A and B are shown apart, each in its own frame.
Chain A
Amino acid sequence: MITDWTLWLEWFIKALVIIFALLIGFAYLTYYERRALARMQTRIGPNRAGPYGLLQPIADAIKLIFKEELSPAKAYKFVFFLSPILTLLPSIVIGAVIPWGATVHWFGRDINLYLADINVAVLFFAAIASVSVYGIVLAGWSSNSKYAMLGAMRSTAQMISYEVALGISLTPVILLANSMSMREIVEAQRSMWFVVYQPLGALIFWIATLAEVNRAPFDMPEAEQELTAGYHAEYSGMKFALFFMAEYQKMIIVSAILAVFFFGGYLGPGEAQYPILGPVYMFAKIMILLFVMIWVRATWPRIRYDRLMSFGWKILLPASLATVFLTAVGILMFDVAKNALWMWFIPVSSMLVFAICVIGVYQALRRLTYERV
């Protein structure tokens, strides 16, 4: 039993910090995205509300709150009401296990800069990520509308397919860190970031998370041009805003997870002496990774549905299984031979396998496409 009330207070404050960071992060991520996209498309972007348009997200929020809430006459009301909440919750829940710093000494006590350091954090992430599909499926079903339904079906198939590669691409990280706790994974990267040993693992994880959060080029479930807006076509006002919020919060969360697993999390020069720099490094890394996501959206067109499926099952899944195998071999040889060169066997061989995999499947697909004519 915990009787120390200051500990409860500490947890409460940390939980509030996470929730508000995600809330404000969502609001300003929309601004960041619009400005960055505008710059890439030689436009200006929002610049009217406040200096440099900085008040734009607040104006948007006020607009959405005062909008009329519609719900279709034949919708399943309770589920229709529940699904935006179900979509939003997982991203906040995952926020609880992400470490954003080591331990600081404030107010005469040691304060850990993370909410929970559980020993199955990686599995916790996989579990909650797999639950997050419910909100989208139920939104599509309860709207009782064709487009929403089609969007929900697509997203279910897509998320289930990419979840497999996502889960397997986490295994090499666990093998390298020899732990499932996110903090220990970060601490294991003090000598070298895992992205160096696991370039392929990082790539697969990143592609799979893009599909998980339904971002371009995998934004099939929303596909404005074909499905009007996919699963949230029937939602308006604040309920729509919740879906929007969920998508952007998930972007922040998966960028944070990517930073933790492959890019050294809160580590950086001077962090060991001044632990308070940890959150700063974390913030910088998340900003860079988010920028890459926006950049991808501005660059690549949406991928066709059958190609999406064959890419997920025929390239990502075998490649992620190969990384698990090669990583295990590399670590085992390192343990046996005590030669650090064996660790470099992992990135070299995995990139080689990936190249072979991509070329092979590409050739096969070409043959298939041109035979059919």
Chain B
Amino acid sequence: MTLDLALFLVLACIAVASALGMLLSRNTVYAALYLVLNFITVAIFYLLLGAPFIAMAQITVYTGAIMVLFLFVIMLLGAENLPAPNALPWQKPLAIALAAALFAEAAYLLIVKARSLGDVLPPAEAINATENLRQLGVALFQNYLLPFEIVSILLLVAMIGAITLTKKEKGARNG
């Protein structure tokens, strides 16, 4: 357990540092790379929690696909260097207020609520084995079939929308 704790602390430091780096970097490519590092750290958190499937899905989807597309667009537009910050006047106080509210909520949940919930870690035998994967599949396709289908349709609609937006009009083809 102590090894897990040490791993967690190191990873947590990396996660926070990379998140800060992402926010503070003035070069969008470096910001994207910090975010990639952050996603990989989060994937390792999932592994520590005994959810290898979610960890691998996190790396495949976010690190492997979405962030590569981000980088692709940044490079395609040549938008590496951000202009100097020119924030809206009301943005800063609002951001501070919202951040304070979020921190207060998180602190309340962690300190007050977490005690009454007791041990939230999953039992050790559920962590391991292929059963984990099978349970996930069964839960997704039996208990939550309707939400799953609705989300699929939503994604399909988004995809069709993207195709329709980029499609050329008939007759306007010029090469």
Contact = CB atoms under 8 A, between A and B. Distances in A.
B64 A120 contact: no
B98 interface: no
Contacts of A137: 68, 71-72, 75
A309 B69 CA distance: 16
Contacts of A153: 72, 75-76
B152 interface: no
B26 to A, nearest CB: 13
Given A160-B68, A160-B69, A127 B59 contact: yes
A140 B71 CA distance: 12
Contact of B60 (A1, A118, A126, A152): A126
A138 B57 CA distance: 23
A130 B76 contact: no
B14 interface: no
A141 B75 contact: yes
Interface stretch (B83-91, B114-122, B126-134, B164-172): B126-134
Contacts of B76: 153
Contacts of A123: 52-53, 56-57, 60
B60 A130 contact: yes
Nearest to A140: B75
A157 interface: yes
Interface in A136-167: 137-138, 140-141, 149, 152-153, 156-157, 159-160, 163, 167
Contacts of B59: 127-128, 130-131
A86 B111 CA distance: 41
DSSP majority for the A interface? helix
A304 to B, nearest CB: 16
Nearest to B29: A141
Contact of B133 (A1, A119, A133): A119
B3 interface: yes
Nearest to A82: B33
A119 B60 contact: no
Contacts of A291: none
Contact of A134 (B52, B68, B133): B68
Contact of B56 (A127, A134, A138): A127
Contacts of B41: none
Classify chain A's interface size.
20 to 34
A124 interface: yes
A103 interface: no
A209 interface: no
A181 B130 contact: yes
Contacts of A179: 130
A180 interface: yes
Nearest to B60: A127
A5 to B, nearest CB: 16
Interface string B54-76: 00110110011100110110011
Closest 6 CB pairs of A and B: A130-B64, A123-B56, A127-B59, A127-B60, A120-B52, A127-B56
Interface of B: 3, 29, 33, 36, 52-53, 56-57, 59-60, 63-65, 68-69, 71-72, 75-76, 129-130, 132-133
14 contacts: A124-B56, A126-B60, A127-B63, A129-B64, A130-B59, A130-B63, A130-B64, A133-B68, A137-B68, A137-B72, A141-B71, A157-B72, A167-B60, A179-B130
